[in-house]
Chains A and B, each alone.
With several copies, the nearest count.
Chain A
């Protein structure tokens, strides 16, 4: 696929929902070790609502506004930490594409940067805090680099995916700063942050969809 159009969005989110359905128990278990064990549940619920939300909120010819509106509806459906962060990412990513018809490589990079900024603002977090941001931020950087060099959407998505994987891997050595995990520093050493793992699966699924 060379560009992502509005009509591709339901399929894209269906693919994401499929991945999170598959990873549900794994994510719940990771989360239970550090927090409250609901992570897989909310990710599946949030992303499986998105195809419908995108259809209900389609703004003709404006992929940005469509994503923004669907994202803000998703926030109401999964108001947990990661649910809200994912929704905030989609909303801010959508804002950056306001007025655009579709996403090519550079707009995909723009979307990912918005996604990361949305998380950063809502979570009041920085890169290095051992959160989902570490995966998404790295994905955005790698995508920006590739896209600015004139790469295709598929190449850009591949770079983003590799960035997310790297960013996720890097959380293994980070100390948790936020909430429930912070008290369990010891348990977190050498293990990926569960939120960053969500980020990794997210980009892997996007890349697979785009390359298919």
Chain B
């Protein structure tokens, strides 16, 4: 394992210390617990949106806490859920009188802890609604059982914008739901990653082997085989997505080409170009293209392709809304 770290068991907390030291004007932690990550710019009367999940996916999850996006994040250890207590403490801090939306990925550990936190808040008479990202087409035939991956960005964007417009809790939930219903993702890995405390990767890929459909924690994919070209990968991924969520010629979409960590931005743009060509050939219009690292698995090489079907003009307005966090800005 080659990493720029200190003691592996301090990985998450050392990272958090660096983040608070760098961005103390924008974010802070509460309850003396580094893992209770909150915006420093609370806005009265706004629905508070809270996310959370394991460490190892930066800028996901905490990186989306900021203006016109999210308000707080429970930070777990590497690939592990934050505790219900931490989520509860974040909730108490950022709640601003209009209720709370929990918006996170569809992983059992996270669900259980967010549910427990919500039960604790009920006792305090604070209203909480929950929605999970579940965009990974390959992970399950049943949409309700799919993993949440990079496509959660679109949910953040839409819900964050609606909350910034001072929408009600139900309206913010509906914005998230609209994004969720119209988002699909397919990903693939070229190399594994290593959990610092474990010290070796939990799967291996041969010199020229890749894994199509692999999960962001290294959950095995649908096929392993020789590395395909960017164009072939784009074709296969877009097909999986459109088979699951048909988009007609003339309709508009937004695309997100996400790097898993080690893959260069150069490659992501090659892939983005290929995805665009395929959509062009089908007469599908592209409204906005996002390319970069949005949801990673530390130093895993690979990428994911997300497509958001533009449901209406309101959604475009949400996508266009400027955002600003220490990790992500859109002017």
Contact = CB atoms under 8 A, between A and B. Distances in A.
> Do A and B touch, yes or no (CB under 8 Å, in the complex)?
yes
Interface of A: 28, 32-38, 41-42, 75-81, 83-85, 88, 122-123, 177-180, 182-184, 187
A32 B112 contact: no
Interface string B218-256: 111010000000000000000000000000000000000
A187 to B, nearest CB: 7
B294 to A, nearest CB: 20
Interface stretch (B73-81, B151-159, B162-170): B73-81
Contact of B198 (A41, A177, A183, A184): A41
Contacts of B80: 38, 42, 78-80
Given A35-B217, A84-B113, A85-B112, A79 B82 contact: yes
A36 B219 contact: yes
A79 B79 contact: no
Given A42-B80, A84-B109, A179-B108, A122 B115 contact: yes
A178 B108 contact: yes
B219 A76 contact: no
B288 to A, nearest CB: 30
A79 B115 contact: no
A85 to B, nearest CB: 7
B112 A36 contact: no
B116 interface: yes
Given A36-B217, A122-B115, A179 B145 contact: yes
A183 B218 contact: no
Nearest to B79: A36
A85 B147 CA distance: 19
Nearest to B217: A36
Interface in B102-134: 106-109, 112-113, 115-116
Those 9 A-B pairs whose CB atoms lie nearest each other, nearest first: A37-B202, A36-B217, A76-B83, A81-B109, A79-B83, A81-B108, A79-B81, A32-B202, A84-B112
B296 interface: no
B219 A75 contact: no
6 contacts: A36-B79, A78-B80, A84-B109, A84-B116, A122-B112, A187-B220
Interface of A is mostly: helix
Nearest to B203: A32
Interface of B: 76, 79-86, 106-109, 112-113, 115-116, 138-140, 145, 147, 195, 197-198, 202-203, 213, 215, 217-220, 222
A180 B219 contact: yes
Contacts of B139: 180, 182-183
Given A35-B219, A80-B80, A179-B106, 13 more contacts: A36-B79, A36-B217, A37-B195, A37-B218, A76-B84, A78-B80, A79-B80, A79-B82, A80-B81, A178-B108, A179-B108, A180-B147, A187-B220
Contacts of A88: 112
Given A36-B202, A184-B220, A76 B109 contact: no
A123 B108 CA distance: 7
Contact of B138 (A33, A36, A81, A183): A183
B86 A76 contact: yes
